[in-house]
Amino acid sequence: MALSVSSLASAFSHLSLPSTSAPHPLPLLRLHPTTRRAARLVLSASGADAAEPVEAEAPAADDGPEEVLAVEAEEDALSGLALRKYVKQRLPGGFAAQRITATGRRKMASARVVLQEGTGKVFINFRDAKEYLQANPMWVEYCKIPLVTLGFENNYDVFVKVQGGGLSGQAQAICLGVARALLKISPANRVPLRSEGLLTRDTRVVERKKAGLRKARKRPQFSKR
């Protein structure tokens, strides 16, 4: 049964609110939707201000992926600067001023290697070897093969400045440089290193392209007619 606005107005007319207290809306949570809507019209017509619902503030959104990446990049930059400072402290005067140095080459890569007593850390171009070599286990192992052969993997730190070529060629150049540097520590290291072939310079390089061919030996497809 629908209720009219006039009947509701007469029903609420006998209610008197004290003047000292601010008017507040009646509890209409259990009323029928039609009755609730009509009551709102009556209260608005009589000048009663309905309390505005307070909306809860939405929780602050988490930082977006761009901000997270920016923070990580800043942390990486700070760690890189700290590592560069550490390497420079370990190498006063630069690579050329050190006592145990050697040079290794492979393909187009050239590596300047310095050995110092330490705990087996490897630094390449002022960066950690695992980070520089993209965590490739084979390339990281190349840098330590001469030390592992002699049992010095935890006795020396390796500092490398390398340029040219790719990561694979650079890793093999570092291997040769470390082996040659170990010879300066003791000539007795030559026999085990030579037996493992670590002192032999690998002279293989990419064969050059020939005129009229697609690559070094690849020819265009032959057509008889």
Residue 123's nearest CA partner among 156, 148, 96 is 156
CB burial of residue 106 (10 Å; 0-12, 13-18, 19+):
buried
Strands 109-117 and 127-128: unpaired
* DSSP string covering 115-181: EEESSS-EEETTEEHHHHTTT-HHHHHHHHHHHHHHT-TTTEEEEEEEESS-HHHHHHHHHHHHHHH
| Residue 1: per-residue pLDDT | 46
Contact 114, 159 (CB under 8 A): yes
Q: How many CA atoms lie within 13 A of 142 on its CB side?
A: 22
Q: What is the pLDDT of residues 9-66, one digit of tens each?
A: 565 555 555 554 445 444 444 545 555 555 565 455 555 444 444 444 444 445 566 7
Full-model pTM: 0.65
pLDDT in tens, 129-153: 999 999 999 999 999 999 999 999 9
CB-CB contact of 153 with 141 (8 Å)? no
User: Residue 4 — φ and ψ, nearest 5°?
Assistant: -90, 160
Q: Domains in the chain, please, with CATH? A: 101-196 (3.30.230.10)
Can you give the pLDDT at residue 168?
96
